[in-house]
């Protein structure tokens, strides 16, 4: 949503009971009025209606009344193509029960090719309250926290907290007319009406008999109570055959629901404002079989996208699987050029220098490194597939959406940097047997380096790699794991080839004192990687989580330094401090931020970019504006490089203004099932992804490594539509 969350202040009204119960009852109805609040685009009030007094067994109603500013509307419980329904959260005494909202008949709001269901003008949402038979209190305190989305061309989330205190026995009838009007506007059951519903590939077909006689020959509106079944804004047909009304409604192109039974509201079509004409509510079984949703529109991509590896029968074809594996192999090779992998280049350089001209050691190290990379990618792929099969909405790089994983990886980089800088030696920390084992088996180091490289590289997506990963998550298990293994092999292939190239070993300088200087210098890239992950953690949590991890690092560095110098009492002191800090500050590291920090920061830093949501994207496209979406995450280094060098470029922003392109940013730093689903619809499972939506065209997916020329060309083409 483009606007920040608005809070309409809480308004409270209390009438204290008199010592004379009869006086309290007599005077209460004259003194009570609805608690009210003002938001940016609405006046809201909490109204009460108790015509027989506030007591058990007697009718008692509360209601939220919204007075919308002209041109603005809120939403029904099925909002249509976009929007969110009004939500009411009650705080009531023990035993007091609030029933469901008695929704009035909604109105249809067409927005370009879309349509929403909701309310404008003044609307009251009545809610019945039930007092337990044991209720004997002197007063009934009521607190309501209401949230709603209010829209015109733009949409603004709003909220208000309202309070009332109703004296026991008080007759409350000042708002009787408002409640009577709300009940009259609610859809009513019509005992004589009969409905038959049937679904097929052509849409949902309705046949209704027994509707009011004065409706015959007039245009009706159809409001299903289940969302994501039909296309609310699409053209549909209706006709009267004598007293029988028939209609055919197209199905939603991206529906996520089916129904064997459907409740719906029919009402006279209107073109005015304020309360909609009262409708009729019907409920009927749905005959027929819901067709499968159509596949997403084909992507117009500036990088080659491998074809689907399945044939018309759903079986994996050999050619399709081979292309997916080849795309992953090429993408894995290009992954070595991504900024994500730069931190582990230091470890690779040290491995080459340590072996000097020993060709056999180079080759064995290359094989061990390759094994570590391939097995790690297969393990990550298997975890991703397992989580998806369990119903979790996750994508490539899912592990870095967890603050604990980010904090652990950052700490690992710190430990490696301190070792490279000479603060401690691994042999000095480990028992002698383990240290000698490490020296006798240096291949373990190469294997673990491959594991580390995979973990660091996994959040990023390289050219060719994105489409292959998107396809992999839809394949059967063995075929999908083959794609992940090919991705790991592609990443390890340049190092493996270099380790088997004899000329390289001869060109390397002989080991000597210069290697100590190189080793210490290479500590700084690792520290830079740790600083980057600290920034990611700050985006995911808060400044408190950042400070907590820094304090833990301080204690950890002390322990490593003291242990390496065999200072036992200093080590013990540092270990105690580390344990105490871990217990007291550890929970702050993984605590979520109150709001999506990265998205909010992006909006505050540059007003051109808005937070992405499916509703916002649909509204902008319905208004005829092209939409450019940046699917990003704080832990994706390539995303940050593209953001700094291309997406903030003056020429790119000028081209966006000239083409009237709306810039939206979908921040995936923390897990977000909605963004995961949007990436899947584009055939992707990781970030970065850059897509340009132009009304009337298929989405255009740009390359993962952007250039100013590429983005400007896409925006210029959007202007020429």
637 within domain boundaries: yes
Mark whether 341 and 480 lie in a shared domain.
yes
678 within domain boundaries: yes
User: What pLDDT is attached to residue 244?
Assistant: 94
545 within domain boundaries: no
* Single residue among 495, 521, 547 that ends a domain in this structure: 521
Q: Is the pLDDT of residue 351 over 60?
A: no
Q: What band does 209 get if pLDDT is binned at 50, 70 and 90?
A: very high
649 within domain boundaries: yes
Mark whether 237 and 204 lie in a shared domain.
yes
Please tell me the least confidently modeled range out of 368-382, 420-434, 526-540, 592-606: 592-606
* Single residue among 130, 150, 185 that ends a domain in this structure: 185
User: What pLDDT is attached to residue 618?
Assistant: 81
592 within domain boundaries: no
531 within domain boundaries: no
Side-chain-side CA neighbours of residue 531 (13 Å): 6
Please tell me the least confidently modeled range out of 1-15, 130-144, 190-204, 580-594: 1-15
User: What pLDDT is attached to residue 33?
Assistant: 42
Q: Given strand 6-14, what is the order of strands in its sheet?
A: 6-14, 155-167, 139-151, 87-91
Which stretch of DSSP H or E encloses residue 59?
none
* 131-152 average pLDDT score: 90
Contacts 24+ apart (CB under 8 A), 642-650: 642/688, 642/690, 642/705, 642/706, 645/706, 646/706, 646/707, 646/708, 646/711, 647/706, 647/711, 648/606, 649/708
Mark whether 394 and 470 lie in a shared domain.
yes
532 within domain boundaries: no
Cα dihedral 573, 576, 578, 582 in deg (nearest 10): -170
User: 């269901």: which residue's tokens?
Assistant: 117
Number of H helices, E strands in the chain: 22, 26
Mark whether 278 and 316 lie in a shared domain.
no
664 within domain boundaries: yes
* Single residue among 185, 210, 227 that ends a domain in this structure: 185
- 146 by Cβ neighbours in 10 Å (0-12 / 13-18 / 19+) ranks as buried
User: What pLDDT is attached to residue 46?
Assistant: 94
CATH number at residue 691: 3.40.30.10
Which stretch of DSSP H or E encloses residue 449?
helix 443-457
Q: Report residue 8 as tokens.
A: 């309409």
3-state helix, strand, coil in the chain (%, to 5): 45, 25, 35
Mark whether 446 and 474 lie in a shared domain.
yes
Mark whether 604 and 678 lie in a shared domain.
yes
Q: What band does 304 get if pLDDT is binned at 50, 70 and 90?
A: very low
Mark whether 170 and 193 lie in a shared domain.
no
Domain containing 360 equals 304-402+429-521
Q: Is the pLDDT of residue 218 over 50?
A: yes
More confident residue, 532 or 191: 191
Domains in the chain: how many in total? Answer: 4
More confident residue, 523 or 263: 263
Report yes or no: 636 and 539 within 8 Å, Cβ to Cβ: no
Mark whether 43 and 74 lie in a shared domain.
yes
Please state the φ and ψ torsions of residue 328, each to the nearest 5 degrees: -65, -40
Mark whether 312 and 387 lie in a shared domain.
yes
């Amino acid at each position: 949503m483009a606007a920040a969350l608005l809070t309409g202040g809480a308004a409270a009204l209390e009438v204290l009971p008199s010592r004379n119960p009869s006086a309290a009852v007599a005077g209460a109805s004259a003194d009570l009025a609805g608690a009210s609040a003002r938001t940016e685009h609405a006046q809201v009030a909490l109204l009460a209606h108790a015509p027989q007094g506030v007591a058990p067994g007697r009718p008692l109603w509360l209601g939220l009344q919204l007075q919308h500013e002209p041109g603005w509307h809120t939403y029904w419980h099925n909002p249509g193509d976009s929007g969110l329904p009004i939500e009411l959260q009650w705080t009531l005494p023990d035993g007091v029960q609030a029933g469901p909202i008695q929704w009035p008949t909604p109105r249809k709001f067409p927005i370009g090719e879309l349509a929403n269901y909701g309310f404008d003008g003044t609307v009251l949402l009545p809610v019945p309250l039930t007092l337990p038979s044991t209720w004997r209190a002197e007063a009934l305190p009521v607190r309501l926290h209401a949230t709603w989305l209010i829209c015109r061309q733009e949409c603004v989330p709003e909220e208000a907290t309202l309070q009332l205190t109703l004296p026991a026995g008080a007759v409350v009838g000042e708002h009787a007319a408002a409640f009577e009007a709300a009940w009259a506007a609610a859809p009513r059951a019509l005992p004589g009406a009969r409905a038959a519903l049937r679904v097929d590939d052509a849409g949902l077909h309705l046949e209704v008999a027994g509707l009011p006689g004065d409706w015959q020959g007039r245009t009706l509106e159809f409001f299903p109570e289940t969302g994501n079944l039909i296309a609310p804004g699409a053209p549909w047909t209706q006709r009267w055959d004598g007293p029988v009304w028939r209609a055919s409604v197209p199905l939603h192109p991206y529906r996520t629901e089916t129904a064997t039974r459907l409740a719906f509201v029919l009402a006279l079509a209107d073109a005015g404002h304020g309360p909609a004409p009262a409708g009729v509510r019907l409920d009927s079984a749905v005959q027929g079989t819901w067709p499968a949703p159509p596949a997403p529109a084909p992507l117009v991509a500036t990088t080659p996208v491998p074809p689907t590896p399945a044939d018309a029968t759903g079986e994996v074809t050999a050619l399709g699987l081979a292309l997916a594996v080849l795309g992953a192999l090429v993408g894995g090779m290009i992954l070595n050029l991504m900024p994500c992998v730069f931190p582990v280049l230091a470890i690779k350089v040290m491995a080459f220098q340590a072996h000097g001209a020993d060709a056999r050691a180079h080759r064995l190290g290359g094989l061990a490194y390759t094994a570590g990379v391939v097995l790690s990618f297969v393990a990550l792929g298997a975890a991703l597939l397992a989580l998806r099969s369990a119903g979790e909405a996750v994508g490539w790089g899912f592990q870095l959406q967890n603050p604990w994983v980010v904090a652990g990886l950052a700490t690992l980089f710190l430990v490696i940097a301190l070792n490279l800088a000479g603060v401690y030696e691994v042999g000095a920390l480990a028992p002698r047997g383990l240290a000698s084992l490490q020296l006798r088996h240096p291949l373990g180091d190469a294997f673990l380096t491959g594991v580390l490289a995979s973990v660091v590289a996994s959040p990023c997506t390289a050219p060719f790699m994105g489409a292959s990963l998107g396809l992999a998550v839809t394949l059967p298990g063995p075929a999908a794991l083959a794609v992940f293994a090919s991705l790991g092999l592609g990443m390890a292939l340049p190092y493996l080839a270099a380790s088997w190239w004899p000329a390289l070993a001869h060109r390397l300088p002989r080991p000597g004192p210069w290697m100590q200087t190189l080793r210490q210098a290479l500590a700084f890239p690792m520290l830079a990687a740790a600083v980057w992950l600290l920034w990611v953690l700050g985006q995911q949590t808060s400044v408190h989580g950042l400070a907590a991890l820094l304090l833990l690092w301080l204690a950890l560095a002390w322990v490593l330094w003291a242990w390496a110098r065999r200072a036992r009492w200093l080590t013990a002191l540092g270990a105690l401090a580390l344990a105490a800090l871990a217990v007291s500050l550890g929970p702050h590291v993984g605590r979520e931020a109150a709001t999506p920090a990265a998205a909010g920061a992006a909006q505050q830093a540059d007003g051109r970019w808005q937070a992405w949501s499916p509703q916002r994207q649909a509204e902008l496209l319905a208004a005829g504006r092209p939409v450019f979406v940046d699917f990003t995450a704080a832990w994706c280094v390539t995303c940050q490089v593209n953001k700094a060098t291309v997406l903030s470029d003056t020429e790119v922003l000028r081209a966006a203004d000239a083409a009237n392109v709306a810039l939206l940013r979908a921040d995936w730093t923390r897990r977000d099932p909605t963004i995961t689903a949007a990436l899947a619809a584009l055939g992707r499972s990781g970030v970065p992804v850059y897509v340009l939506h132009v009304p009337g065209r298929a989405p255009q997916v740009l390359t993962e490594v952007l250039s100013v020329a590429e983005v400007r060309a896409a925006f210029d083409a959007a202007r020429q539509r």
